[in-house]
Structure 1
Amino acid sequence: MTADMPLGNDPLSIRRRIEMMEKVLERSFVIPGINRPVGLDGIIGLVPVVGDVISMAMGAYIVWEARNLGLPKWKLLRMAGNVAFDSAVGAVPVAGDLFDFMFRSNTRNLRIIKKHLDKHHPADRIIEQ
């Protein structure tokens, strides 16, 4: 992926924005020694209250972009449920922070969006390596 964020409203631009956001939130860098990718979602979740609110807002952005793609309401509710569940459990001190590193709501939501786009916009399908 390039460093430039696509600004268009076409499905391919929205897909790339969502993929970039998911990568930043879930897989920005690898923790040395355990070789586990982490992102901003887990890191800012360590900050009590404010970190969880920011993390939830960034997850809600992905749901908003999915709404712009025209996903059905039941898929949007499922995605919102993923974000809400991640935020609710992530708000628990210590155990919630560990949970944030394991439960990747944004990755789950990206998977829902990709399935929808591959079915309804096959011309924008990206072959992953």
Structure 2
Amino acid sequence: MATGAADNVSSALEEFEGDLPSTVDEAALERMRVSARILDEGMRVPGTNFRFGLDPIVGILPGVGDSAASIVSLYIVAESARMGVSQSTLLRMLANVAVDTIGGSVPIIGVLFDAFWKSNKWNVMLALEDLADGGQAEREPKTVSID
């Protein structure tokens, strides 16, 4: 997923609003959105459309920074699991967090990596997409034709 408008997650929430089940915890979605925004897109480089968050800033602290950011990232995954996001989507979300943690832990280059790799924003988008389609991609029975 590419970076784009100032708050893609908020616009996605509006886009999926009618498709989300009524049982979805809207307060949890808002907490997830705020967490993703703070970590991935909380600040803008003046004169540009490039946004970054606290993830690359706390990543400057060796070991501790990326660990702290990963814990917040795992909160988004945990909330998604609690809301019933499919297992395959949760695995994709965990893979995003793992890439973010490993890539961000590389000295010096990791800070730049964290500024561009928006795993939290992507994970909220994945959760919204899965909730909107009801996890049908994983839950629908597969038919196999033996000819």
TM-score, with length taken from structure 2:
0.71
Equivalent position of 2:122 in the other structure: 108
1:16 is displaced (CA, Å) by 1.1
Given that 2:52 and 2:116 are in contact with CA atoms closer than 8 Å, whether structure 1 keeps it comes out as no
User: Which residue matches 2:132?
Assistant: 118
Indicate yes or no: 2:32 matched with 1:18.
yes
Conservation of the 8 A alpha-carbon contact between 2:84 and 2:131: no
Task: Compute the displacement of 1:10 (Å).
Answer: 4.5
Shift of 1:31: 2.0
- 8 Å CA contact 2:32, 2:124 repeated in 1: yes
Query: What letter corresponds to residue 102 of structure 2 in structure 1?
Result: A
2:91 counterpart of 1:92: no
Q: Secondary structure at the match of 2:51?
A: strand
- For 1:62, the equivalent position in structure 2 comes to 76
Q: Give 1:77's aligned amino acid.
A: L
Question: Could you say what secondary structure the match of 1:46 adopts?
Answer: coil
Moved beyond 4 Å, runs of 4+: none
Consecutive unaligned residues of structure 2, counting only runs of 5 or more, are 1-9, 11-22, 135-147
Percentage of identical aligned residues = 34
Find the aligned partners of 1:69 and 1:12 in 2 and give their Cα distance: 10
RMSD over equivalenced CA pairs, Å: 1.9
2-side partners of 1:34 and 1:48: how far apart? 29
Q: Does 1:50 align with 2:64?
A: yes
TM-score, with normalisation over the residues of structure 1? 0.80
Distance of 1:41 and 1:58 partners within structure 2: 10
Shift of 1:38: 1.1
The Cα shift of 1:11 comes to 2.3
Aligned length: 114
> 1:68 Cα shift?
0.6
Deviation of the 1:32 alpha carbon: 2.1
- Unpaired runs of 5+ residues, structure 1, are 2-8, 121-129
CA contact (8 A) 2:40 2:52 kept: yes
